[in-house]
Amino acid sequence: EEIYRDGVSGRRPRVPTAPAERERRGRRAMSRAADAYVSGGAGAEATMRADRAAFGRYEIVPRVLRGSVERDLSVDLFGRRLPSPLLLAPIGALDLVRRDADLAVARGAAAAGVPMIVSNQAGSPLEAIAAAGGAAPRWFQLYWSTSDDLVDSFLRRAEGSGCDAVVVTLDTTMLGWRPRDLDRGHLPFSRGLGIAQYTSDPVFLRLAADRASAPRSGPAPRITPRAVRTLLEISRHHPGGLLDNLTSPLPRAAVETFLDVYSRPHLSWSDLASLRGRTRLPIVLKGVLHPDDARRALDAGVDGPLVSTHGGRQVDGAVGSLDALPGVVDAVAGRVPVLLDSGVRTGADAALALALGATAVCLGRPWVWGLALAGAGGVEQVVRDVLAELDLTVGLAGARTPAEVEVRARR
């Protein structure tokens, strides 16, 4: 209503409401490097297109005269009643888009009443992001480190910062083949962005210091902290070459430590079983696309799959996220919530995913465009727009809740 009223009174929003225009203007508001990083996908970006095309394969069949004036978008997720079935997907290294981006995102999410999933590769420490979000709900996204101590430390920090769940991202044990980033020299990592969760972690710093104090031969020139941050990120993607040029013990040790710990490519189902015993937080698995994996996740005591292609940034040619949803929903058979992201651009998209059985959806790139255009207020506005359209879609489809919306495969 508020959005309508503003429109009728001639007030124009700071972030365009039309999805294509929002994207166009948002992309223009960023540096070319940031745009390449945010907009880019894996390979020839077929999965990115598949994510969008999937939404065109389903259609809502509205019902009339049902008196469904009162809508209820609220949802129970892991013991908390949320006003709407929307969360902000975790997005890392956003300081490339705007300084202190994650603090702005936390404020925008809080103002719009949706939980932020804080990325393991956020630009500010989790504790600072939690403080910016205040009483608003938040979740933590974990990239599974090779260091069990570091994983435990991240889990303790998530619990201590009031996170309601931990989202373990499984589709990025190695970074996907992303030509737009490769052609620009792996920005934003070459600018030292996206490692604040690590450099603010006592376990990580201890690992780096231990390594630095180990005997080593060769000279040790001074390297500035800024350069250390930068080198950490560059080195993550270019093992070997850069390391050979670093000779100061501590930065070099930090680089080596980060390279060692940031991801565990040989992760298996037995590791997952061990994780269950190490946190009291609900565990969501991000990147589940196969029904059998969803079943195994349930057997391992996981609290919910998040169906995702990582925004088409990992496996080019992979199934579109919404196309994978019905299989996962079937496999789970109502035992746990199912979440979805990748390709959600509008409230009508969200309605389709929810009608097809998702419990909640995560919004990704659209709020980044809002962030680029108007900071915290831009994030808030994009979320409010998506929720307003979702609410209208549900009501106009003759339903009271998104799950009641009638949907079928397009013929």
Q: Report the DSSP beta bridge partners of residue 60.
A: 407
Residue 90 contacts ligand FNR per CB under 6 A: yes
**Half-sphere exposure at residue 132, Cβ-oriented, CA atoms within 13 angstroms:** 20
Shortest approach of ligand FNR to residue 305 CB, angstroms? 13
Distance from CA of residue 133 to its chain's centroid? 17
Judged by CB under 6 A, the residue of 30, 75, 89, 387 near ligand FNR is 89
Under 8 Å between Cβ of 165 and 303: yes
Phi, psi of 318 (to 5 degrees): -75, 160
Residue nearest to ligand FNR (CB): 364
Distance from CA of residue 84 to its chain's centroid? 18
Pick the closer one to ligand FNR by CB: 106 or 399: 106
Contacts for 33 with CB less than 8 Å, ≥ 6 apart:
96, 184, 187, 188
Judged by CB under 6 A, the residue of 84, 119, 257, 393 near ligand FNR is 119
Phi, psi of 248 (to 5 degrees): -70, 135
What are 99's two structure tokens? 């300084």
Residue 141 contacts ligand FNR per CB under 6 A: yes
Site stretch for ligand FNR (CB under 6 A), options 11-19, 329-337, 338-346, 391-399: 338-346
DSSP secondary structure, 250-298, as one string? HHHHHHHHHHHHS--TT--HHHHHHHHTT-SS-EEEET--SHHHHHHHH
Pick the closer one to ligand FNR by CB: 212 or 380: 380
Site stretch for ligand FNR (CB under 6 A), options 221-229, 297-305, 340-348, 376-384: 340-348
Q: Residue type for 370, please?
A: G
Pick the closer one to ligand FNR by CB: 223 or 297: 297
Site stretch for ligand FNR (CB under 6 A), options 106-114, 148-156, 306-314, 400-408: 306-314
3-state helix, strand, coil in the chain (%, to 5): 50, 10, 40
- Cβ atoms within 10 Å of 72's Cβ, excluding its own: 15
Shortest approach of ligand FNR to residue 372 CB, angstroms? 11
Judged by CB under 6 A, the residue of 15, 38, 87, 231 near ligand FNR is 38
Judged by CB under 6 A, the residue of 19, 92, 320, 370 near ligand FNR is 92
Residue 170 contacts ligand FNR per CB under 6 A: no
Active site amino acids? 310
Judged by CB under 6 A, the residue of 36, 91, 151, 360 near ligand FNR is 91
Under 8 Å between Cβ of 240 and 212: no
Q: Tell me how far apart the 2 most distant CA atoms of the chain are, in Å.
A: 80
Shortest approach of ligand FNR to residue 344 CB, angstroms? 5
Shortest approach of ligand FNR to residue 36 CB, angstroms? 10
Site stretch for ligand FNR (CB under 6 A), options 3-11, 230-238, 252-260, 303-311: 303-311
Distance from CA of residue 323 to its chain's centroid? 19
Judged by CB under 6 A, the residue of 342, 346, 381, 393 near ligand FNR is 342
Site stretch for ligand FNR (CB under 6 A), options 104-112, 126-134, 309-317, 384-392: 309-317
What gap in Å lies between CA 7 and CA 173, rounded to an integer? 45
- Which residues here bind ligand FNR, judged by CB under 6 A? 37-38, 89-92, 119, 121, 141, 169, 286, 308, 310-311, 313, 341-344, 364-365
